[in-house]
Amino acid sequence: MKKIRLKLMLHLYSWSSSVYADIFKWNKKAWGISKEEFLTYPVGSIGHGLGLFYASKGFDVMAKLENHDVFHIITETGTEIQDEIAMQYLLLGNGKISLYLIGMITIGGILFPEHFKYYRRTFQKGRSLQKFHHIEFKTILHYQLTEFQIALYSKNIQVDLNK
């Protein structure tokens, strides 16, 4: 039964990602940066970290959804299906609301109730972080990843996006 739930959720996730990019991100431009180009950013930067993420996972850049992959590296959230659902809980905790997010949380929560404690922890994690879900990360790919994460997890350090 778990295999069927997993196949169903993977199919829905795969299908919905492209539909989400086409319908809800219609006015957003793809970054136009290849996974190899990300590796040319300074070592330790968000851009370089994204390049390492793509290389280690064997993923390709999904046009218009690049910010989502940055969310994975800055929050250190995995990419298994339960992690993708948890990411939506984290983003909800961080203040993001979207039809896609609500759909993923609802369907994922129904199909994978055994991960509810994990989802609750990631929601709380999202609440504890400074707001980041609205940031267009393309403009700050040169920022040091570790410094950005420290600021994200600290209520005393303001994230200065004007560097």
Q: In a structure prediction context, what are the per-residue pLDDT tens digits for the chain, which is 163 residues long?
A: 667 876 766 666 666 666 555 565 556 788 999 999 999 999 999 999 999 999 999 999 988 889 999 999 999 999 999 999 999 999 999 999 998 899 999 999 999 999 999 999 999 999 999 999 999 999 999 999 999 999 999 977 766 655 5
Instruction: Give the per-residue pLDDT at 3.
Output: 76
Instruction: Give the per-residue pLDDT at 110.
Output: 93
Instruction: Give the per-residue pLDDT at 6.
Output: 64
Angle at 31 between CA 163 and CA 50, to 5 degrees: 70
Beta bridge partners of 45: 144
Q: Where are the alpha helices (DSSP H) in 24-133?
A: 35-38, 46-57, 66-75, 81-93, 99-111, 116-128
Residue 160 within a domain: no
**How many domains does one find in the chain?**
1
Q: What is the pTM of this model?
A: 0.85
Residue 58 within a domain: yes
Residue 49 within a domain: yes
**Domain limits at 125?**
2-14+32-153
Q: Which helix (H) or strand (E) holds 63?
A: none
Region of 129 on the Ramachandran plot (φ > 0 left; ψ -120 to 50 alpha; else beta): beta
Instruction: Give the per-residue pLDDT at 84.
Output: 94
Residue 119 within a domain: yes
d(C-alpha 29, C-alpha 136), whole Å: 11
Instruction: Measure CA 143 to chain center.
Output: 17
Instruction: Give the per-residue pLDDT at 8.
Output: 66
